[in-house]
Amino acid sequence: MLAPPFQYSYLYLMPDAVIEQVLRDAQNILWRNLPPTHSQSDEAVVRALRDIVRSARVKSVLERGSDTALVFVLRATNKVLADESQTPREIIARLWNILDEPELNRALGIPQNSRMKIGRKKPPAR
């Protein structure tokens, strides 16, 4: 199973830190399953993401937290994960659109080292 490294520390973090850690953990789960290291099934990835986003601590923080940009990202992530009509592959694709934004990485203090650099062609120069 893809357990995030800090899942038990959520209990001891302040609300903003919980949001940041959950988003980092979600990104890490997605990044760890990019080819060629794709070691988990899409179902296992979605299940791991649902486990961290749906934890009691995260739900509590979302209910009581301020409406910050990171809270909106986490709520969008939660909404995508709640959509049972999508296949795991479709859910993962939608999550990439949310969790692979340069602005989110900047907010989390993460250098842009995601799939945007992997396999995407540069647009032609004008």
pLDDT of residue 119: 39
| Rounded distance between C-alpha atoms, residue 120 and residue 126, angstroms | 18
Quick: pLDDT tens for 51-104. Answer: 999 999 898 888 887 788 899 999 999 999 999 999 999 999 999 999 988 888
Q: What is the pTM of this model?
A: 0.74
pLDDT of residue 51: 94
Quick: pLDDT tens for 95-116. Answer: 999 998 888 888 888 876 545 4
Quick: pLDDT tens for 22-35. Answer: 999 999 999 888 87
